[in-house]
Amino acid sequence: MKLRILHLYPKEMNLYGDHGNILSIVKRCEWRGIKAEVVVHEPGDPIPDDIDIIFGGGGQDSNQNTIEDDLRAIGPKLKELVESDVPTLVVCGLYQLFGEYFQTGDGNKIEGIGILDLHTVAGKNRLIGNVVVDESEFGEIVGYENHSGLTRLGKNVRPLGTVSKGNGNNGDDELEGARYHNCIGTYLHGPILPKNPRITDFLISKAIERQTGQPAKLARLNDTAETRAHKVASTRP
């Protein structure tokens, strides 16, 4: 079996170790004997049809401006893939741009591609620090946030989880991230996947199920290092 992972804008959108999410997916595939191919997308590149997992990271406002036109051009294709249940993880900047829009601090409105029913407006202060999120499917989720954007969810998405430490989407409604079909949006850097392997395995499982039409049965891995990293992150102030 082979899974193709689409990595959106790795040059422009790779803050705080987000590339580690790709490494986590690839390694947890390889350790189970699953071949994983990373397909890099930069502005002007086409989007292949045979994509099994989509990932996009975070970037500064200037980087979001750089990719804005290309993202809008490929938006319909990405929406088609998400609507067809391709498992997807978008972090921080691309989480924002998968929504309706991001309004920057100077009033510039960067249009999103409307896959996720949410919008973001820059706040006066940055939300920075370690985050712990409670979620029934994945258990406790840990990560690190650093964003000025205040994201509000609409009716057609549900939150990734509830914040027990940190700020999350906006610092006041105790919600973090968003979920729609098999798409997960989040502000958690760190990167998020190495310390939260259940989310990585969710992406892999859903990719296999979509490809085969059968429930995925992933081989268990030794997650001692991942568990230790998770525990350390969860206890940081």
Say what the pLDDT of residue 201 is.
Answer: 98
* Of residues 213 and 63, more confidently modeled: 213
Answer whether residue 68 shows pLDDT above 80: yes
Catalytic residue among 92, 119, 147, 230: 92
Answer whether residue 2 shows pLDDT above 80: yes
Say what the pLDDT of residue 16 is.
Answer: 76
Pairing of the two strands 88-91 and 183-186: parallel
119 vs 100: CA distance, rounded Å? 5
What's the average model confidence in pLDDT over 64-73? 86
Active site residue 92: yes
Say what the pLDDT of residue 62 is.
Answer: 63
Answer whether residue 63 shows pLDDT above 70: no
At 105-155, the pLDDT tens digits run 888 888 999 999 999 999 999 999 999 999 999 999 999 999 999 999 999
* pTM recorded for the entire structure: 0.96
Domain boundaries along the sequence of the chain? 2-235
Worst-scoring range by mean pLDDT, 24-28, 32-36, 73-77, 100-104?
Answer: 100-104
Pairing of the two strands 118-135 and 101-103: parallel
Q: Is 174 left (phi over 0), alpha (psi -120 to 50) or beta?
A: left
Q: Is 111 exposed, middle or buried (0-12, 13-18, 19+ CB in 10 A)?
A: middle
What's the average model confidence in pLDDT over 182-188? 98
Per CATH, domain 2-235 is 1.10.10.10: no
Active site residue 119: no
Closest alpha carbon to 131 in 47, 61, 188 = 188
